[in-house]
């Protein structure tokens, strides 16, 4: 039980650190983001003075209230957060940041989640096979995967768009669904889901192609290491079938580090996907982040950063729980 | 480079427990595994000696020191050639190419004898831009890689060596930084810093981009280095140094760090790859350095210039190709280092191959199974 307690404690501390980082960055780095943000909001509001409520929200989130101590600002910041108030966006004035994020989040979670699971499973299965057949021509796959690993996500996306959308015209170029067919926005119908899936194929392919090399290679190397363990020799000597040794003995043990690294690798997938969404104009959280950063919409940027961090933390936490279940040793060794 | 560093590692052919598969870019995006994974592979590495002994005969046949060098196999040579070629291109290219922002050329010219890689929408020569961009990206990669390495040593080696409460605190910080996704942090910091008034020209320089990338990407190396430092601190020679009254700083820099050289090299190379990729993403989003040209700013220009829509492939394909090639070349060098640090990766496939050959020649005992 202490394993789970330790994990919960760790994630609580990390959660607190992420929020505090979010609080400190605009206050400690040079510049006055609150003033910039208020200026932007005034312009978005066509020059009319902003409501007292909006001004308070922005200063609570981005700081620089004259005369208040950092500690009071910190408490005010937490108060805003606990009410779910992330301020008002200036690029999409007057939409609240929280609404924009909740509209965008499902797109990214479904796309990145599905693509990552596909890539992970494929990488583990193929990696186990390549590791099993070590010393054959399959070893030459190893250097090839490095090329895939080193390709920037967004560049691969550009190339895929250039080939499949611009040249061949098979897939749509931009967007998460057909905006002309569904002018009213997302709806629950088969036609809409079909359109969304059709639009998601190229982005998902990008994620799978860019991330599979890492899983494959990690699994292959662990498989090679595991195959020289004594218990594999014992299993072979006992006369177990190669299939049984491969699946029940070697693969299971070799996949443990890949599972342990899953959460951390997820951070890289999320980072790559943020940039990739720009290429496809995908209506997800990455596009929102980019919009915020380019328009100096600091309130939106802070909100998106917080949500991305918390989502990645949650995914890590779930993975840790599963990992503790799969590998009892970590539960006992702490 | 890898040759020299691995030569200084006297017992690398035999055993170096604790350094497992997680040290190389052979993980998901080169991502280091968690602490559990490090422990896992440390356990796995204890069987290394047996494998090494099994193939000792083969090593002896090829000369006494053959097993100590990264083999001059395809991987290492290819990696060094690729990286050297790109570095030379970045260093010498700008000397021969025309100024990268010379717009006295026809716009959007496809590759031809006049302009080897064509021109951009503004009439810039792509070849020249590529040469300057490679230089810019390499500079950012090296600076960021160095910053990340120093921080990784600070947090990883110190935590692993001192243990106790220092270890707890440093490891906690490392793990927090590790799980907070890097690129969003970099984007947020860049967005604030680049619009600050106080910094002047520094605010959007490549040096600042490199520093931000370095400061946010050290946690992975720290985890790997900590695992290895922990295993080294229990060695007799470290204990002897401590008994002899050496100061901790001296023990770390004289006794421990030299034994970590292959690992440090691998982590540095990995840091460079990460920084070059990070810079490309950041610049593509318009958060890159404005004063200098990098591969990322080229891609950003191509994006704003509608290169994909107009079919100007010669504008956006070369920068990405250089990034991919550089990353692949550096990873290949890392493999060679990794096969020295973790001999199992090299010996096991060789043994399997030999066994399979023997079976084919009718000399083997088994005709199928895990080892055939």
The mean of the pLDDT values for chain B is 76
Please give, rounded to a whole number of angstroms, the shortest distance from the CA of A72 to a CA of chain B.
Answer: 22
Q: Given pLDDT bands bounded at 50, 70 and 90, which one contains residue A272? A: confident
Rounded-to-integer distance, Cα B124 and Cα B142, Å: 27
Q: Is the predicted pLDDT of residue A71 greater than 90, yes or no?
A: no
Rounded-to-integer distance, Cα B145 and Cα B268, Å: 6
Q: If you write DSSP's letter for every residue of A181-205 in order, what string do you get?
A: T-TT---SSHHHHHHHHHHHHHHHH
Q: Is the predicted pLDDT of residue B20 greater than 90, yes or no?
A: no
Say yes or no for a CB contact (<8 Å) between B31 and A226. Answer: no
Positive or negative: CA dihedral A87, A88, A89, A95? positive
CB pairs under 8 A, 24+ apart, for B53-60? B54/B347, B54/B351, B55/B347, B55/B350, B55/B351, B58/B350, B58/B354, B59/B13
A260 vs B contacts (CB less than 8 Å): 33-34, 36-37, 40
User: Over pLDDT 70: what percentage of chain B?
Assistant: 76
Say yes or no for a CB contact (<8 Å) between B193 and A30. Answer: yes
Rounded-to-integer distance, Cα A180 and Cα A177, Å: 9
The predicted structure's pLDDT at residue B371: 56
Q: Is the predicted pLDDT of residue B289 greater than 50, yes or no?
A: yes
Rounded-to-integer distance, Cα A307 and Cα A315, Å: 12
Range B60-80 burial, b when 16+ CB lie within 10 A, else e: eeeeeeebbbbeeeebbebbb
Lowest mean pLDDT: which of A17-26, A117-126, B86-95, B106-115?
A: B106-115
Rounded-to-integer distance, Cα A82 and Cα A98, Å: 12
Query: Taking the CA of residue B353 as centre, how many other CA atoms within 13 Å lie in the half-sphere pointing to its CB?
Result: 14
Q: Which of B27, B37, B349 sits opposite A139 (nearest CB)?
A: B349
Backbone angles phi, psi at B98, to 5 degrees: -75, 165
Positive or negative: CA dihedral B132, B136, B141, B146? positive
The predicted structure's pLDDT at residue B15: 34
Please give, rounded to a whole number of angstroms, the shortest distance from the CA of B120 to a CA of chain A.
Answer: 17
C-beta neighbour count of A75 within 10 angstroms: 13
Rounded-to-integer distance, Cα A98 and Cα A87, Å: 8
CB B330 within 8 A of CB B340: no
Please give, rounded to a whole number of angstroms, the shortest distance from the CA of B266 to a CA of chain A.
Answer: 15
Rounded-to-integer distance, Cα A278 and Cα A208, Å: 17
Mean pLDDT of A31-35: 74
B314 vs A contacts (CB less than 8 Å): none
Q: Which of B191, B325, B351 sits opposite A293 (nearest CB)?
A: B191
pLDDT digits (tens, 9 = 90+) for B178-225: 888 888 888 888 888 877 766 667 777 888 889 999 998 899 899 889
């Amino acid at each position: 039980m202490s394993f789970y307690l330790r994990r919960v404690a760790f994630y609580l501390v990390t959660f607190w650190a992420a929020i505090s980082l979010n609080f400190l960055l605009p206050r400690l780095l040079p510049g006055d983001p609150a003033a910039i943000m208020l200026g932007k909001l005034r312009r978005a509001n066509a020059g009319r003075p902003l409501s007292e409520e909006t001004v308070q929200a922005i200063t609570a989130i981005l700081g620089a209230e004259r005369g208040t101590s950092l500690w009071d600002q910190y408490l005010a910041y937490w108060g805003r957060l606990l009410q779910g108030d992330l301020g008002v966006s200036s690029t999409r004035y007057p939409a609240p940041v929280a609404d924009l994020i909740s509209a965008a989040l499902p797109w990214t979670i479904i796309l990145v989640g599905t693509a990552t699971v596909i890539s992970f499973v494929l990488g583990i299965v193929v990696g186990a096979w390549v590791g099993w057949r070590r010393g054959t021509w399959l070893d030459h796959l190893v250097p090839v995967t490095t090329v895939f690993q080193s390709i920037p996500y967004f560049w691969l996306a550009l190339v895929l768009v250039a080939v499949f959308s611009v040249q061949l015209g098979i897939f749509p170029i931009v967007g998460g669904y057909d905006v002309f067919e569904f002018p009213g926005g997302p709806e629950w119908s088969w036609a809409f889901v079909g359109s969304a899936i059709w639009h998601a194929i190229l982005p998902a392919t990008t994620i799978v192609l860019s991330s599979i090399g890492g899983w494959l290679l990690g699994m292959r190397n662990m498989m090679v290491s595991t195959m020289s363990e004594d218990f594999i020799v014992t299993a072979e000597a006992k006369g177990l079938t190669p299939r049984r040794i491969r699946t029940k003995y070697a693969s299971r043990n070799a996949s443990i580090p890949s599972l342990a690294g899953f959460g951390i690798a997820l951070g890289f997938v999320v980072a790559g996907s943020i940039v990739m969404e720009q290429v496809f104009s995908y209506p997800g959280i990455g596009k929102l982040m980019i919009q915020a950063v380019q328009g100096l919409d600091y309130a939106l940027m802070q909100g998106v950063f917080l949500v991305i961090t918390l989502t990645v933390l949650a995914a890590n936490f779930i993975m840790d729980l599963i990992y503790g279940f799969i590998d009892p040793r970590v539960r006992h060794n702490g | 480079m890898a040759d020299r560093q691995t030569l200084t590692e006297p017992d690398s052919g035999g055993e170096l427990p604790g350094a497992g598969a997680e040290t190389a870019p052979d993980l998901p995006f080169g991502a280091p595994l968690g602490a559990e994974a490090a422990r896992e592979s440390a356990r796995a590495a204890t069987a290394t000696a047996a494998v090494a002994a099994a193939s000792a005969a083969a090593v002896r046949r090829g000369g006494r020191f053959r097993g100590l060098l990264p083999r001059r196999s395809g991987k290492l040579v290819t990696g060094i050639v690729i990286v050297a070629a790109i570095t030379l291109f970045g260093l010498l290219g700008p000397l021969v190419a025309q100024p990268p922002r010379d717009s006295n050329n026809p716009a959007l010219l496809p590759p031809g004898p006049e302009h080897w890689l064509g021109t951009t929408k503004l009439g810039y020569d792509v070849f020249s831009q590529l040469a300057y961009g490679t230089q810019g990206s390499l500079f950012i990669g090296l600076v960021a890689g160095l910053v990340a390495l120093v921080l990784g040593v600070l947090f990883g080696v110190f935590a692993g060596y001192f243990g106790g409460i220092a270890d707890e605190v440093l490891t906690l910080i490392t793990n927090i930084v590790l799980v907070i996704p890097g690129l969003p942090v970099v984007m947020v910091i860049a967005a604030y810093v680049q619009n600050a008034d106080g910094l002047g020209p520094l605010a959007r320089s490549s040096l600042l981009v490199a520093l931000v990338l370095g400061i946010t990407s050290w946690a992975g190396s720290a985890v790997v280095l900590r695992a290895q430092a922990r295993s080294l601190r229990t060695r007799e020679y470290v204990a002897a140094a401590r008994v002899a009254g050496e100061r901790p700083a001296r023990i770390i820099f004289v006794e421990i760090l030299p034994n970590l050289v292959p690992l440090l090299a691998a982590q540095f190379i990995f840091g460079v790859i990460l920084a070059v990729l990070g810079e490309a993403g950041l610049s593509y989003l318009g958060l890159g350095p404005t004063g200098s040209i990098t591969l990322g700013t080229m891609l950003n220009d191509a994006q704003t210039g509608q290169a994909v829509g107009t079919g100007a492939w010669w504008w956006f394909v070369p920068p990405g190709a250089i990034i991919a090639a550089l990353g692949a070349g550096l990873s290949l060098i890392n493999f060679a280092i990794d096969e020295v640090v973790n001999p199992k990766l090299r010996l096991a496939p060789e043994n399997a191959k030999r066994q399979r050959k023997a079976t084919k020649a009718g000399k083997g005992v088994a005709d199928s199974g895990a080892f055939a």
